[in-house]
Structure 1
Amino acid sequence: MMRVGLVGFGRAGRAVASILNADPRLDLKWVAHRNHHQRQFAEAFPVLNIRSAQDYEILFQNHPVDYIVDFSSPDSMLDYGTIAAALGINILSANSNHTEEQLDFARQLADKIVVMCSPNITVGINFLMIVAKALHQIAPNVDIAVLEEHFKEKPDVSGTAKRLAHELNVSDVTSLRLGGVVGHHQVVFGFPYQTVRFIHDSISREAFGTGAAYALTLMEKQTPGFYRFDELMRKEIAHLMQAA
Structure 2
Amino acid sequence: MANIHALIVGAGRGSRFGSALPKQYTTIGNKTILEHSVACLNHECIADLTLVIAQDDEIASTLTFDFDKPIYITTGGAERFLSVKAGVEHIMKNGASFDDWVLIHDGARPCLPEQDLNNLICVLDGLTDEVGAILATPVADTLKFVQDGNIKHTINRTNLYQAQTPQVFKAGALLAMLDDVCDKGLMITDEASGFEQLGQMVKIVIGSCQNIKLTYPDDVVMIQALLGLPFQIT
Q: Aligning the two structures, in what range does the TM-score lie when normalised by the shorter sequence?
A: 0.3 to 0.5
- Name the structure with the higher helix share: 1
Larger Rg: 1
Q: TM-score, normalised by structure 1?
A: 0.32
